[in-house]
Amino acid sequence: MAALKIVTVVGARPQFIKAATVSRAVAGRHDVKEIIVHTGQHYDANMSDVFFDELSIPKPNHHLNIGGGPHGQMTGRMLEAVEGVFIDEKPDWVLVYGDTNSTLAGALAAAKLHIPVAHVEAGLRSFNRKMPEEINRILTDHAADRLFAPTAEAVGHLRNEGIDTDKVRQVGDVMYDAALFYGERAARPDWFAATGLHADEFVLATVHRAENTDDPLRLEGIFRGLAESNTPVILPVHPRLRGKIGTLVEDLAEQVRMVDPVSYLEMTWLIQNCAKVATDSGGLQKEAWFHGKRCIVLRDETEWSELISSGWNILAGANSHLISKWIRESAPESQERSVDYGSGDAAGKIVAELMGCS
């Protein structure tokens, strides 16, 4: 019997982490063959190459080198390129992750070629259609043949949109798999000792979404809130943010230590050792929860709304007063973490499900 052939499409840093869990579940099996396609959406070496190395992800079989440009142009170029790969590889399944342009391009190309599509992290909704990611999520979910939802709330969103429930599987969150596995392998950044900081003395912050980086008033509000918290802040600088930091922001950020992008294992160590997290990242909101750290969400809404409704994370947007207030505020000692992201075996369930569908 021929091995099940899966083509995995990735292109952005969070997808590398998620894909690593499934690749590890596939490794050593003789009945499954995985072909990895890297679109090149994250083309900075610190945002891409280092992740494949430290997470022990197999090197991509196809590297498309498509990055930069407007959303339509990027997605169109990816769509054309991955279609050619699918025609050549003739996979049994195409596996896509999350909500990037790479996700949508992979799903559309496969659907048009009548190749079954599986979507990991299906059913997430921010209900803000101004976000490109929200459009990518919705279209991918409606094109997919198997939808792997991380939570009961995500399953409910799919049901409310009329998606056939026979296609949906609640498997848990592959990012929880990653947190458990790589948490034991976390690595302190070489530069950290020079900061003179100790565990629980600093806030870990990230800012990368266009809604924040491209709006000077929002960016100023975020940095003002971080600076006025009177708490040391470590902020790895995303390439999108680097060119947006003007003189005003630099003046506000004397206690915000801006460092180069860090690897996943270094980021994991920083999460484990920080006091709180402040971020506009989707993935980092959950990783903070996985490692028991409260998170101030620098957005006006989030696709991980269960973390807000549980009282663990807090929406602050770009409001400097709220950001500084909630950084300083002590967390309740008895706060329970009641959100269900599975048992850390989501990747194995995904592979088993795809095997059962073959």
Ramachandran angles phi, psi of 253, nearest 5°? -110, 35
The pLDDT of residue 339 is 86
The pLDDT of residue 1 is 66
The pLDDT of residue 41 is 79
Tokens of 294: 């409260």
**120 vs 38: CA distance, rounded Å:** 16
Report field, pTM of the whole predicted structure over 0.85: yes
Q: Name the more confident of 238 and 313.
A: 313
The pLDDT of residue 48 is 54
| 220: pLDDT strictly greater than 80 | yes
Per residue in 319-358, pLDDT tens? 999 999 999 987 665 466 778 999 999 999 999 999 987 5
Per residue in 263-305, pLDDT tens? 899 999 999 999 999 999 999 999 999 999 999 999 999 999 9
**312 vs 295: CA distance, rounded Å:** 7
The pLDDT of residue 342 is 94
Across 228-252, average pLDDT? 80
The pLDDT of residue 103 is 97
**227 vs 235: CA distance, rounded Å:** 12
User: pLDDT-derived band of residue 55, with 50, 70 and 90 as boundaries?
Assistant: confident
- Which H/E stretch holds residue 218? helix 216-227
Domains and CATH numbers, the chain: 4-173+342-357 (3.40.50.2000), 192-328 (3.40.50.2000)
User: pLDDT-derived band of residue 193, with 50, 70 and 90 as boundaries?
Assistant: very high
| 213: pLDDT strictly greater than 80 | yes
Residue type, 33: K
- Compute the mean pLDDT over every residue in the chain, rounded to the nearest whole number: 91
The residue among 16, 9, 136, 157 whose CA lies nearest residue 84 is 9
The pLDDT of residue 118 is 98
Q: Name the more confident of 50 and 287.
A: 287
The pLDDT of residue 238 is 75
Task: State the catalytic residues.
Answer: 208
Query: Do the beta carbons of residue 226 and residue 203 sit within 8 Å?
Result: yes
The pLDDT of residue 249 is 65
CA dist 56 → 19, 134, 183, 264 (Å): 11, 30, 15, 12
The pLDDT of residue 231 is 93
Per residue in 118-150, pLDDT tens? 999 999 999 999 999 999 999 999 999 999 999
Q: Name the more confident of 57 and 202.
A: 202
The rounded Cα 50 to chain-centroid distance in angstroms is 16
| 247: pLDDT strictly greater than 70 | no
**169 vs 290: CA distance, rounded Å:** 22
- What DSSP character marks residue 305? H
- What DSSP character marks residue 144? -
User: pLDDT-derived band of residue 56, with 50, 70 and 90 as boundaries?
Assistant: confident
Per residue in 10-44, pLDDT tens? 998 889 899 999 999 999 899 999 999 999 876 55
DSSP H helical ranges for 62-185? 71-89, 101-112, 132-143, 152-160, 174-183
SS3 28: coil
